[in-house]
Amino acid sequence: MRIISGSFKGKKILLPKDKLTRPLKDLTKESIFNIIKHSKLLNVELEQANILDLFSGIGSFGLECLSRGAATVTFLENYKEVLVVLKKNINNLKQENFSKLVEKDIFAENTLKSLNDKFDIIFMDP
């Protein structure tokens, strides 16, 4: 698993040892970013965008956003074993200042309401 474009292109992303986590495949990731960049239906620019990455997993999508110029990413993840890997991936790319890690269950009452930020792109890949 790696970052596919931007300032961190080619950098490796650590994977958890469990079999439950299904990282976003490079081809899928590239397709999503092509849609964001080239779609006439979406009125959003990735550069300087504030991103919410729900069910963040190892951070593949959010870190790719930062690599491509996003201003900030809020990662929301609840699975403890994956959180350890997500934190390492953020630290390895030195993105602590541009990342906010929320360790909550998205289905818990008021989890989303507690995020007082405004987001340009919300990505959800359970």
Cut 0.85: pTM above it: yes
- The answer on pLDDT for 23 being more than 80 is no
* 93-to-67, 68, 69, 89 alpha-carbon distances in Å: 9, 13, 14, 6
- Between 24 and 125, residue with greater pLDDT: 125
- Between 112 and 69, residue with greater pLDDT: 69
Q: What is the pLDDT of residue 17?
A: 84
Q: What is the pLDDT of residue 56?
A: 93
**Residue 13 carries which side chain, given as an amino acid letter?**
I
All structural domains of the chain = 26-124 (3.40.50.150)
At which residue do the structure tokens 């990731």 appear? 29
Percent of residues, the chain, with pLDDT higher than 70:
99
- Residue range 69-109, pLDDT digits in tens: 999 999 999 998 899 999 999 999 999 999 999 998 888 87
**Residue 118 carries which side chain, given as an amino acid letter?**
K
Residue 31 phi, psi (nearest 5): -60, -45
Whole-angstrom distance, CA of residue 4 vs CA of residue 64: 7
Q: What is the pLDDT of residue 12?
A: 95
Q: Name the pLDDT band for 21 (thresholds 50, 70, 90).
A: confident
